[in-house]
Chain A
Amino acid sequence: MKPILEAIDVRKAYAAHVALSGVSLAIPEGSIFGLLGPNGAGKTSLIRIITQITGADEGEIRFRGERLRPEHAAQIGYLPEERGLYKKMKVGEQLLYLAQLRGLTKPDATQRIKQWIARFELKDWVNKNVEDLSKGMQQKVQFIATVMHQPSLIILDEPFSGFDPINANLIKDEILELRKQGATIIFSTHRMESVEELCDNIALINRSRKVLDGPVGLIRDQFKTNTYAVEGKGKLIVVHPDFEVVEQTERENGHFYARVQLHAGVRPNDLLRYLIANVEIESFREQIPSINEIFIRRVRETMPESLVEETV
């Protein structure tokens, strides 16, 4: 699919440190894109360049193939990590104000606010000041403000930090719904496990550099080690020409847990056949690396050991 957004060799330096040193990305339209990396890796800097809050020192951002311009702001919805609202303003007025700033006409905005308010069950709160709302309700208002102008690109920076579990789920469902309607979503987070299952594509950023990117499935396959977790009853022999038992723990009543790595060319069915013949299998599952594990491995590969400790 054609990318909705491309970053080409983007560089940004502040007085004291380099935030981005030559990051290139392509975000496919209609996908959920995970921008992952530890705190301070440069994620927010990149997002601020995409949202045109700051500019890149070098490099270029393209939106649907065009160089990013201020007019594109109306097609981007941004929920920053530092998200707030005017405390002394009424919920309805606040949403109207933000919608108009993003280019909606007053009647259009009023119409959409009505829909969203009904959907998020905030009807009784429209004429209340924001400061009278609970934190969870404020989060709903913030989310509405981010998406009500129907942006084709939605950027959510640490979306689930601070959201209570109920709202987090609500937001998750809304995000999936928005993708179904054709929107592209960028998730930025340092808590990789929180968005793993949502993302179609990811990019890993560490210390101002992109260390890895691509479709999640492909990356996982790439980092698979051909290792299987086996639980069962009996005892596995440790040495075999086809595989290697990496780890084996005895449990009570003759049960065991083992991690088995297959040698090149050996298929899982070969292992299964052996297991069926020798032990009683209770579970058999491929060990798929989590994004977090992949990240750590990738960082180890690309960095000296001493720096890895600091990063992870």
Chain B
Amino acid sequence: MDVQTLTFIFVGTTFALYIGIAIWTRAGNTDDFYVAAGGVPPLANGMATAADWMSAASFISMAGIISFIGRDGAVYLMGWTGGYVLLALLLAPYLRKFGKYTVPDFIGDRYYSNIARGVAIVCVLFVSFTYVAGQMRGVGIVFSRFLEVEITTGVFIGMSIVFFYAVLGGMKGITYTQVAQYCVLIFAFLVPAIFISMLMTGNPVPQLGFGSTLADGSNTYLLDKLDQLSAELGFAAYTAGKKSTVDVFFITAALMVGTAGLPHVIVRFFTVPRVRDARISAGYALAFIALLYTTAPAVASFARVNLINTVHNAEYKTTPSWFKNWEDTNLIAWVDKNGDGKIQYSAGKAFNGKPQFLEERGLAGERKFSNPPTDNRNELYIDRDIMVLANPEIAGLPNWVIALVVAGGLAAALSTAAGLLLVISTSISHDLLKKMLLKNISDKQELVFARMSAALAVIVAGYFGIHPPGFVAQVVAFAFGLAASSFFPAIFMGIFSKRMNKAGAITGMISGLSFTAGYIIYFKFIDPSANSAQNWWFGISPEGIGTLGMLFNFVVASLVSKVTAPPPNEIQDMVDDIRIPKGAGRSYHHAKL
């Protein structure tokens, strides 16, 4: 069977599965809708958290990025896993004991202030919308390349699926579809990785193949070969760092702390029955995530070697079909600078910016574009996002593996989108309406509002997917920076400092936030030409500035809280209470009544 038929079968089957689960687990009340009635078993919550967390970026983009930047890719690998240690040890068990529905709930109650709640709602909405736009875009790319439909149609299909199970099922529906989506995505990521590891090194475990010798009889280690190939083509060594140590340190810290502060991840720990379950499900979640995250760098290095071996000095006319397919999707471009009909791949950009393709074809049949070529030897442009999707084709794996990867990429994007949409709808119906504007609505009315806001959020997200704002890539730094500089310190101090009060927390959040946002806006939007190491403060890039924002938040909050009145006694009692696990069920009751 051809790839397209297989892809339709795989994608269709998995979509049918998600819809089936949604019907089976639909939500009956707000408790179901917001936190799956707090009854999710820890193992299931671990899988759901893993699927929630691993987005189109983790599945599709991350290995590709690592493939091109080498060792520095560790900022993502460590940043997006190390945050779970912070989450598990510092936040999750206590937030579960607190036992309500949302992050703004905690901030608003702990700091006895609707201003604090309001600041939190604004941050939640901003962070989540930023993130969800990227997911819908991922769905669009996958559909357009593999199912040959317009990106718009692809986004519509993705939207209707998410609409169906998020609006109908709420947290309960999302949780169990995420469990299924985790299974699909991890299987889809591991199968090609195992195949390729076998082909290249003879070792079926990618994590081991990564450090083995090549199976070509040369007895050279894979990574040594990669360093050698990189040197030949003029690239820096794959296993050497290129970013400054300071910057790597701050970016990793910002991603870790940001991960621990992201509302759609935190809220998953409200769904388990007990404090103990919150702790262990963080462990399961990270174990499930680590399975993909330790495979990704192996995939990155395999893909890199394969890519160089396949395309460098290859005749354009005889390149395999994947090369031309991706060229048709605008993600690969080739310009024959020396007119030999062969592809020369080396360090440097073949031309500036993204290719602006023209209708005409060149001598060898390649697509022409209007960007003037640069004067270095490199003739090839490859979008990093295609590495994972193209990898099975580059390695010549069977068609069903390619179809499986497509279904996996969609599972990763949809599961994350659904989790984010739920957080957005909860912030509107629960935090904004029920807690601040319309305090007298009944549970049934609140559920209607929750469904309406989920529906609205799906539509807005879909719009961003079809008309992606040019700044999506830039604002990802925003999402983590804001979470790191606002939520993490506010929640952390709310648990670990009884003395932290309303004034301290609010001024801390606002100063951390405005500092981080200001720095990012300056370098990304106001003066992008100044965005280079010599202009950065202490050599910290906008991606890593959230760490400094977080420190700033801590300092301001501590100083202000020292000179203002301590929190009222009942708040201090509440802090005492969330510090011990006993009575988690009971506090949940109190919170609800």
- Chains A and B are bound partners: no
Residues of A within 8 A of B (CB): none
Residues of B within 8 A of A (CB): none
